[in-house]
Amino acid sequence: MPNNKRPSLTGGCQCGAVRFAVRLLGRGSICHCRMCQKAFGGFFGPLITAHDAVWTRGTPKWFQSSNAARRAFCGDCGTPLAYETRFGLELAIGAFDDPASAAPALQVNMHDKLPFFEGLTSLPIRTEQSDEWVDFLAGIHSNQHPDHDTDDWPPTNETK
């Protein structure tokens, strides 16, 4: 039986313009359909059913991706946020502040699964980095919203 007293899980887009909160999650999945591949710009769409989600900052833009579904995204930065059908709303797992709290439990729409998907975990791993690359990484300043709720964003006390 679900625990409705569970603290809210939060998330949002990369720029912080759109945020959400949810207490009651359903099943998480990896969807291999071509529409999810295109909507996420990736090999699959990671989604989890959200029974009581609310938008806590801003509102997403919606794209009617088919006659049966629409997809939410941030109109400012483009982050994929949700998928909605007559069966309900699913949130993008990667948009959660703690994506590990919304782990997928199954894969769906295997007919569109990319042929190289199964071999991804066996690809070689680069562990060495050139001094040039290390310097490049050290100089990066992220403008991404932090992985927690904020009263406002971007911070008003930040000097440019």
- What pLDDT, on the 0 to 100 scale, is given for residue 4? 52
pLDDT of residue 153: 78
User: DSSP string spanning 33-44?
Assistant: -HHHHHHHTSSS
Tell me the pairing of strands 106-108 and 25-31.
parallel
Cis peptide before 154 (omega within 30 of 0): yes
What pLDDT score does 90 carry? 97
For the segment 63-102, what is each residue's pLDDT rounded down to a tens digit? 999 999 999 999 999 999 999 999 999 999 999 999 999 9
- pLDDT at residue number 134: 87
pLDDT attached to residue 151: 85
At 160 the pLDDT is: 41
pLDDT reported for residue 1: 43
* Residues in the chain where the model's pLDDT stays below 70: 1-7, 155-160
The residue length of the chain stands at 160
| Pairing assessment for the beta strands 88-92 and 45-50 based on DSSP bridges | antiparallel
Calculate ∠ Cα 84-107-51, nearest 5°. 35
Task: For residue 108, give the 3-state DSSP assignment.
Answer: strand
What domains can be seen in the chain, in order of their start residue? 9-118 (2.170.150.70)
Of 53, 69, 45, give the one whose Cα is nearest residue 19: 53
Query: Which residue shows structure tokens 């199964």?
Result: 118
Q: Give the Cα separation of 22 and 8 in Å (integer).
A: 5
Calpha distance 57→16 (Å, rounded): 8
